């Protein structure tokens, strides 16, 4: 094999290898359903907070029930109330799951969300909600365990009227505490109902 032929051979092999690689890649499903993608991450963990009645609540108190956990804040102008409203509506359409699902709201705004504030906020939503808050460090620990993003926005007035950018996901856990799936504030009530029925029938 002379040098010239070798060069042509190498270039051709590289071309074939690239084509094979592209072919193989195309045949691997790259669009996995979101549930699966999130399901591979370790979501959830210990928390130690107080509820709207100042009772201590920990992750252990959720064992034995389907837990649906949402992180938000009571001053939220849109996303949180919207998601909480849809989810409350979904719960009220599932009387057969009454008592088997424990909905939990965890504040990402411990500075303003004291138990009294959360109690007021929850009056608009499903009565079974726990509304949890705590010291900033306890909230940070919970956020970390549940992979929650929440950052206070800068505001020019330096007042109490700040907003918080935050992820808006309802995490669902089985009675043994393992993560089963999620939906968001934008999920339709119908879809929430379908998913909860499916998961709770497992």
Q: How far is the CB of 19 from Ni ion (least distance, A)?
A: 48
Q: What's the Cα-to-Cα distance from 117 to each of 36, 96, 97, 186, rounded to whole Å?
A: 36, 30, 28, 25
How many other β-carbons are positioned within 10 Å of the β-carbon of residue 5?
9
Q: How far is the CB of 137 from Ni ion (least distance, A)?
A: 22
- The residue number with the shortest CB distance to Ni ion is 76
Q: How far is the CB of 79 from Ni ion (least distance, A)?
A: 4
Q: Which is nearer to Ni ion, 43 or 80 (CB)?
A: 80
Contacts (Cβ under 8 Å, ≥6 apart) of 78:
none
Q: For the chain, what is the total number of helices (H) and then of strands (E)?
A: 6, 9
Q: Which is nearer to Ni ion, 65 or 85 (CB)?
A: 85
Interacting residues toward Ni ion by CB under 5 A: 72, 76, 79-80
Q: Which is nearer to Ni ion, 75 or 199 (CB)?
A: 75
Decide: 102 and 68 in contact? Cβ < 8 Å.
Answer: yes
Q: Which is nearer to Ni ion, 79 or 94 (CB)?
A: 79
């Amino acid at each position: 094999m002379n040098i010239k032929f070798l060069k042509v051979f190498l270039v051709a092999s590289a071309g074939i290898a690239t084509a094979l690689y592209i072919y193989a890649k195309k045949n691997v499903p790259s669009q996995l359903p979101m549930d699966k993608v999130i399901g591979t991450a370790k979501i959830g963990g210990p928390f130690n907070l107080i509820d709207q009645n100042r009772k201590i609540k920990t992750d252990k108190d959720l064992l034995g029930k389907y837990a649906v956990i949402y992180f938000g804040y009571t001053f939220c102008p849109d996303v949180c109330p919207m998601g909480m409203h849809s989810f409350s509506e979904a719960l009220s359409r599932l009387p057969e799951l009454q008592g088997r699902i424990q909905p939990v709201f965890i504040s990402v705004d411990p500075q303003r969300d004291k138990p009294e504030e959360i109690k007021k906020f929850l009056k608009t939503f499903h009565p079974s909600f726990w509304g949890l808050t705590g010291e900033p460090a306890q909230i940070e620990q919970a956020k970390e365990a549940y992979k929650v993003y929440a950052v206070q926005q800068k505001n020019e007035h330096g007042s109490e009227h700040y907003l918080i950018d935050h992820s808006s996901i309802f995490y669902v856990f089985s009675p043994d505490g393992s993560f089963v799936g999620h939906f968001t504030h934008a999920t339709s009530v119908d879809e929430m109902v379908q998913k909860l029925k499916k998961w709770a029938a497992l």
